[in-house]
Amino acid sequence: MNKKINLIILILSLFIFICITVLVLNNSQIVKTIDTSIAIWTNSIRFPFLDDIMLSITKIGNIYESLLIFLVLSIILIAKRKKISFYIFTIATSLGTVLPELIKNLTGRIRPESFSLQEIGFSFPSGHATISTIFLISSFLLFTPIIKNKFSKVLFLIISTIIFPAVVFSRIYLSVHWTTDVIAGIFLGIFCFLFAKLICCHKK
């Protein structure tokens, strides 16, 4: 993507995130309808085996697991001498870790009641969704181009395309986040990545 398209998507993702934030803060009926409807649906598809899978998957987005993923992927970028990609990945991941926590304290949204997993802190936006989105975009734009082996490239894309969206969905399924928390986290993740990319490419 060229700089102009990146900038347009960045502004659009930030605008959508702000709109969702405003709707959440104003306790909009649209937000209530979306969150309630999806919560009812996820509760209807729950069963013990899927609960266990989701409890395992959601851990991938925890702070220590995310840090491990970040370190492994960063080492790959350093080994490949992809300095700009490393800077983009580092800045985006840092923003994706810090911003959700800051915004949560500002919005103060209460989490839904979960019978499977107890989480502390506020709900909006989802940090798991934010960091998973950054990892997914990075997989496509930063890491896939440097994988030369075709089979390894396809395998890496398949794993990334399954795992990171699954982490996002697990937050709704386990009722530790409202759907709008997750949607906002996705757009915040897009913003963080493109913001980091624009900064690094400009400095380059």
pLDDT tens sequence across 138-176: 999 999 989 888 899 999 999 999 999 999 999 999 999
Q: Where are the chain's structural domains?
A: 3-36+60-203
Average pLDDT over residues 28-42: 93
pTM listed for this prediction: 0.91
Taking the C-alpha atoms of residue 143 and residue 194, their distance in angstroms, rounded to an integer, is 16
Average pLDDT over residues 93-122: 89
- The reply to whether omega before 125 is within 30° of 0 (cis) is yes
Taking the C-alpha atoms of residue 42 and residue 86, their distance in angstroms, rounded to an integer, is 37
User: Across all residues in the chain, what is the average pLDDT?
Assistant: 92
CA-to-CA separations, 79 to 75, 144, 159, 178, in angstroms, rounded: 6, 15, 22, 39
